[in-house]
Amino acid sequence: MPYRAIKQLPAEEYLAPGHDMCAGCTVPITVRLLTRIAGKNTVVVNATGCLEVSTTPYPRSAWKIPWLHLAFENAAAAGSGVSAAFKVLKRKGLTDKDVKVVVLGGDGGTADIGLQSLSGAFERGDDITYVCYDNEAYMNTGIQRSGTTPFGAWTTTTPPGLLSAGQRTWKKDLMGIVIAHRVKYAATASPSHIIDAANKIEKAFSKGGPAFIHFLQPCVPGWKIDPSLGVKIARLAVQSGLWPLYEYEDGSVRTTVQVAKRVPVVEYFKLQGRFKHLMNRPEELTLIQNYADGLAAKHGYGPLVPASQ
Amino acid sequence: MTSRLGLSGNTAAAYAVRQLDVDVVPVYPITPSTTIMETLAQYAADGRMDAEIITVESEHSAISAAAAASAAGARTFTSTSSQGLLYMHEVLYVTSGLRLPVVMAVANRAISAPINIWNDQSDVFAERDTGWIQIHAESVQDVYDRMVQAYRIAEDSRVRLPVMVNYDGFVLSHAHGPVTIVADEEVAHFARRVASPFRLDPDSPISLGAIVWPDHYFEVKYQAARALEDSRRVIDEVQNDFRGMTGRKYELLRPYMAEDADFLLLAIGSVCGTIKTAARKMRSEGLKVGLIGLDVYRPFPGKELMRLIGGAKAVGVLDKAFLPGSMAGPAYTDVTSALCRYGVNVPVHDFVAGIGGRDIKVEDVQTMYRVLEKAKDNARFDREIHYVGLRR
Ligand SMILES: Cc1ncc(C[n+]2csc(CCOP(=O)(O)OP(=O)(O)O)c2C)c(N)n1
Ligand code: SF4
Ligand SMILES: [Mg+2]
């Protein structure tokens, strides 16, 4: 039975409060949701990044389920190792548990430096659920661009200047890459659409094979946003067509959240300091709006409706 | 019950892995270690071994999957050589830092560039200080025996560190030799599992791989270093038990005609066989020469070594690896550190040979012994490395 309301979600929490993530960070929303659904018999493998350093400052840890961090670029391989271990230990009667393996990596740890190990795990069909929390830059090291930083965005390594207007490349199509591995399940998700995300997480766990969920995660210092606006901004990303919500299953792609009336990308950009320099560059904004229109068309989103006053 | 089989170093290692009831084996091919994983894959395919073989996409992932599986409580093995070992570099530290008892066989090979698939020991020496227990084999029998001993050492609660079993590429990895095999049940009993309380268990969740700030990091690293230092006691115990089971004697160091020797060579791996031949020859000519095989290299048995070389007139260290820009080969630096630390006053000379598969002949070894003989009354150390067998 799919979830229809937040109160139907399992209540037990596995990420304790008191961790060191920024006030207003949207990543803990994803992690709490993910682990509540995953439940007790879960092992989390975490790539190096914001989540890892902020939740485990020794001797404290926010994790109430077993958690492993080895390095930045090998989380998927580590997930494969844990998964294989429980499989064979069960076969040999050395454990009686069926353990879910959930891997969590940032966009850098997943789409850039970790892409090789991700590809290996998915191509082999290993039984892991990999969740990429995409805050669209290397935040832990101080907001450097990654392959998933959107076109036009400011980062410390794509500073706008006389000769540049921020990031000059388009967001890497990580979902496309993942789907090309013919994984059992893949989906995009957003902390603004909790029920949609919850059902995707549930599905991912039910597949018994490689599953992937790609969350967009507004980041307070990295996106230069007001800490109270993370979820709202995530919602605008969906409503602008820049972050369509869809899933891939049994060889086909299905849009899971329809947007009848789209908002212009500037509405999404206006709340983020990282796009401030674009506000007086109409040619850049047009390029990005065209890009969003293309994504929206692919997912059957409705027409653009100028911001209502 | 024992039997004798004709095995190569790689198939001997694989044979031991099967007997050791290993659970998870991530593999990635590289010459000359590849035939280990081929053999293991066949064992698994034939149902002769119940393990998860993970055909990873790189050595970085091989060691990562191995470390992670070990963290989950599985007995884990992998193998590699040369570029593959170097590619693991980062995660070798992670494995020892997290105290994960992974066992890895390394068929030692030269490192690129220029690319070269033949034997020297540059690969393991590049990883010498990664916090692993490092053991070297002199023969195919050693490869098998050291593999049988490895998990007992690694998983001991006083140790909890990864173990690397090294042997020379091709010379040992591919050459077949007679190997006396221990019966399956005896190996199983000898190397029975010790469950670690520090594993990923939903019933008692731990966080493994946390960020450690300056107020604890030093202590955590010191504890691992201390455990590596102290592992020599456990290695001794395991060697003794192994001797009890098989009659075969292993020690941290392997002296050969060393007791009364005036001129000693210290060497690692299969070259010890050649050195023994040379030593016997020179002894018959009246020169009192001897050899000490540095079998267990990490932890470095400095104290034990000093006891054995104290009476020599001159000592030579044979390095099958070199450290460009450094003043000496890697083993030489360890040996001279031990001499200084224990105040032992013996002239020591550094020989670099056997690089990139260059043969070390009996005559080369004789040359080395002659250098020692000539130098005995001279300066304590000489100023230069002797590159033996090099054209220049
Ligand atoms: C091999 C390696 N290279 C670089 C780093 C430094 N580093 C740590 S976290 C990080 C960025 C992480 O970015 P991302 O995966 O997007 O996660 P985020 O910090 O944004 O959550 C970098 C570059 C590292 N730890 N290891
Ligand atoms: S830098 Fe961004 S992603 Fe990292 S904790 Fe802060 S808000 Fe979250
Ligand atoms: Mg990021």
Q: pLDDT tens digits for B8-31? A: 999 999 999 999 999 999 999 999
Residues from chain A contacting residue B192 (CB–CB below 8 Å): none
**8 Å CB contact of A65 and B210:** no
Pick the atom of ligand 2 nearest to A106's CA: 3
pLDDT of residue B1: 59
Q: Is the pTM of this model over 0.80?
A: yes
Contacts with B194 (C-beta within 8 Å, 6 or more apart), sequence order: B155, B156, B157
Contacts of residue B67 in chain A, CB cutoff 8 Å? 70, 78, 81
Q: What is the mean pLDDT of residues A61-76?
A: 98
Residue percentage of chain B with pLDDT more than 70: 98
pLDDT in tens, A150-165: 999 999 999 999 999 9
Spatial distance between the Cα atoms of B239 and A292, rounded to a whole number of angstroms:
68
Q: Which residue of A has its CA nearest to B211?
A: A57
A138 CA to centre of ligand 2 in angstroms: 10
**Confidence band, pLDDT 50/70/90 cuts, at residue B380:** low
Question: Is the pLDDT at B153 greater than 60, yes or no?
Answer: yes
DSSP letter at B158 equals T
Q: Give the confidence band of A309 by pLDDT, cuts at 50, 70, 90.
A: very low
pLDDT in tens, A212-237: 999 999 999 999 999 999 999 999 99
Q: Taking the C-alpha atoms of B272, B276, B279 and B280 in order, what is their torsion angle to the nearest 10 degrees?
A: 180
B375 in Cβ contact with B347 (< 8 Å): yes
Confirm or reject: Cβ of A41 under 6 Å from ligand 1. Answer: no
Q: What is the pLDDT of residue B348?
A: 92
Residue range B228-280, pLDDT digits in tens: 999 999 999 999 999 999 999 999 999 999 999 999 999 999 999 999 999 99
CA dist B373 and A194 (Å) reads: 80
Predicted confidence band of residue A308 (pLDDT cuts 50, 70, 90): low
As a whole number of angstroms, the distance between CA B261 and CA B263 comes to 5
Give, in words, the CATH class of B2-246: alpha beta
A136, pLDDT greater than 70: yes
CB count, 10 Å around CB of A88? 22
Q: Parse chain B into domains and list their residue ranges.
A: 2-246, 253-387
Q: What is the mean pLDDT of residues A42-64?
A: 98
Helix (H, G, I), strand (E, B) or coil at A44: strand
H or E element, residue B80: strand B77-80
**CA–CA distance, A299 with A142 (Å, rounded to integer):** 34
Q: Kindly give the distance from the C-alpha atom of residue A220 to the centroid of ligand 2, in angstroms, as a whole number.
A: 6
Q: In this predicted structure, what is the pLDDT of residue B378?
A: 62
Average model confidence (pLDDT) across chain A: 97
Contact between residue A41 and residue A99 where contact means Cβ atoms under 8 Å apart: yes
Per residue in B205-218, pLDDT tens? 999 999 999 999 99
pLDDT, chain B, mean: 96
Domains of chain A: 6-298 (3.40.50.970)
For B339-378, the pLDDT digits (tens) are: 999 999 899 999 999 999 999 999 999 999 999 998 866 6
Which among B20, B50, B52 is the top mutation candidate for probing chain A, defined by the most A β-carbons within 10 Å of its own β-carbon?
B52
Over range A44-57, report the average pLDDT: 98
| Residue B297 parent element (H or E) | strand B296-298
Please determine, for residue B138, whether its predicted confidence score (pLDDT) is greater than 60: yes
Give the number of whichever ligand sits closest to the CA of residue A222: 2
Strands B2-8 and B176-182: antiparallel
Q: Where are the beta strands (DSSP E) in B109-182?
A: 133-136, 163-168, 176-182
Residue type, A44: V
Q: What percent of chain B has pLDDT above 90?
A: 93
**Partner-chain residue, chosen from A40, A76, A84, that has the shortest CB–CB distance to B24:** A84
ipTM value greater than 0.85: yes
Q: Map residue A241 onto helix, strand or coil.
A: coil
The single-letter DSSP state of residue B343 is: T
Say whether B253-387 and B2-246 share the same fold.
Answer: yes
Q: Is A208 helix (H, G, I), strand (E, B) or coil?
A: coil
Side-chain half-sphere CA neighbours of A128 within 13 A: 33
What kind and span of H or E run contains B15?
helix B9-19
For domain B253-387, the question of CATH label 3.90.550.10 is answered with: no
Question: Partners of B76 in the beta sheet?
Answer: B24
Split at pLDDT 50, 70, 90, the class of B59 is: very high
Q: What is the pLDDT of residue B310?
A: 84
Measured at the CA of B343, the angle between CA B340 and CA B349, to 5 degrees, comes to: 55
